A = this chain, B = another copy of it.
Amino acid sequence: MTTLTDAVRTRLADTNFWHIATINEDGSPQVSPVWADVDGDHVLVNTAIGRRKDRNVRRDPRVALSAADKDNPYLNIEIRGRVVRIIEGQEAEDSIDELCRKYTGEFPYPWRKPGERRVLYVIEPETVQARL
């Protein structure tokens, strides 16, 4: 566990796009874009239950995140850590609505597919490399 600096926390609170890497069953890497947010020293990421990254983090909670600052892509942050809580149900549904409001101004999240259920990951950072 590591403490996030204010500069890193600010980037997580802002509307930067993050890319989260997870490990496939065969040990190969997978990476996909996500919205993110911050709660104290934890990183929050929300996805739909059953997607590849969801299946992956339930098997292996180790993840890595990378973002380039939206206003200057030469400022960037890499975080390695692990998913320490997997939250489903109303809290996960509410969190995607809030992320959507933060990133797009729309509320609630309008792109739910029929039957889609959301999941919220609470990620504990282990190492952070920030070039800010």
A109 to chain B, nearest CB (A): 13
A21 CA to B29 CA, complexed, in Å: 6
Number of copies of this chain in the oligomer? 2
A10 within 8 A of B: no
- Give the chain B neighbours of A20 by CB distance below 8 A: 31
Does B65 lie within 8 Å of A31, measured CB to CB? yes
Whole-angstrom distance between the Cβ of A67 and the nearest chain B Cβ? 8
Distance to closest chain B CB from A124 (angstroms)? 13
For this complex, 9 residue pairs linking A to B, each with C-beta atoms less than 8 Å apart, are A19-B21, A20-B31, A21-B29, A21-B31, A21-B64, A29-B29, A29-B31, A30-B64, A31-B66
Interface residues of A (CB under 8 A from B): 17, 19-23, 27-33, 60, 62-66, 68, 73, 76, 78, 80
